[in-house]
Amino acid sequence: MKDWTGILRLDAEVRNGKTVARNVYFQGAYKVMRPIYHDESGQACYYILNPGGGFLDGDSYRMQISLDKNAQLTLTTQSATKIYKTPKTLAYQETEIHLKEGSYFEYIPDPIIGYRDAKYQQKTVTYMEKGATLLYADIITPGWSPDGDRFSYDMLQLMNEIYLDGELVVYDHIKLSPKSQTIDALGYMEGYSHLGSMIVVGEKTTPNFIDKMYQMLHESEGDFEVGISQLPVLGFTLRVFANRTQTIEKILADCQGMISREWFNKEPVFLRKY
């Protein structure tokens, strides 16, 4: 059994119209705050804390999240995931998500910041039942460098697998290795320094909804490039290039807000901590 730096297990269910934890367990450099209910919908929001302040050489973390039928939960972080120098062994995070029919899970963490000589690998596997809805987001940003280099990290790798009723329907793989890639070039970061991603799988996805979202993003102001692709199943992926974290956060928040209003008939919640 792997000696994890931090472990988090969270199982949620619906009781009396509210999503509550049936089981919460955390160990090591992972903690989770008590749930917050931002509105009357009963959707719970949990904040993950990393008392260590960042990922160091050889650190490894594991999360297991499970939502019962009709449970609604938002999971976010208290601060950015900082990846510091990893001279020997890369830092690693593994997440396993299980979503029952009718459940809705939002995973909206703060950015991943890769500092000089950082190596980081993240693997997320989601198992969904028909009728469940997933909103998953990530932001990759470069950390401060003494010589001003925007891409001083060694590698940032994010892998996502999504299974619907046991069948693999989405495989998403981002790997940024500045030392072996022309990271500024066409097909990579294309002159930008920050990358945002969102994956949404949900039966309420329609071509008209995607068109409305694209129109909203097309009318947004700022220096960024954005693209939306429809998935083989009901859902879509979104990619954003920008030079500021706040630009990407706003775009992802606008998309989350449209989903909240049109799919769940409620106003979105501002999750950021500043």
Q: Indicate the number of domains in the chain.
A: 1
- Type of residue at 82: K
Instruction: Answer yes or no: is pLDDT of 80 > 60.
Output: yes
User: At residue 183, what is the residue type?
Assistant: I
Residue at 213 is within a domain = yes
Residue 49 lies inside a defined structural domain of this protein: yes
Which pLDDT tens digit goes with each residue over 167-185?
999 999 999 998 888 887 7
pLDDT, one tens digit per residue, over 203-227 is 999 999 999 999 999 999 899 999 9
pLDDT for 272 equals: 62
Looking at the domain assignment, is residue 139 inside a domain? yes
Domain with 215 in it: 23-264
CA nearest 64: which of 91, 119, 27, 103?
Answer: 27
Say if residues 237 and 229 touch (Cβ distance below 8 Å): yes
Q: Does an H or E element contain 123, and which?
A: strand 119-128
Tokens of 149: 């280099």
132-175: pLDDT as tens digits: 999 999 999 998 777 778 789 999 999 999 999 999 999 999 99
Distance CA 128, CA 203 (A): 12
Does some domain include residue 272? no
In the structure encoding, which two tokens stand for residue 72, read together? 């609604």
Has this prediction a pTM greater than 0.75?
yes
d(CA 200, CA 131): 13
What average pLDDT does the structure give for the chain? 93
User: Helix or strand or coil: residue 197?
Assistant: strand
Q: Is residue 60 part of a domain?
A: yes
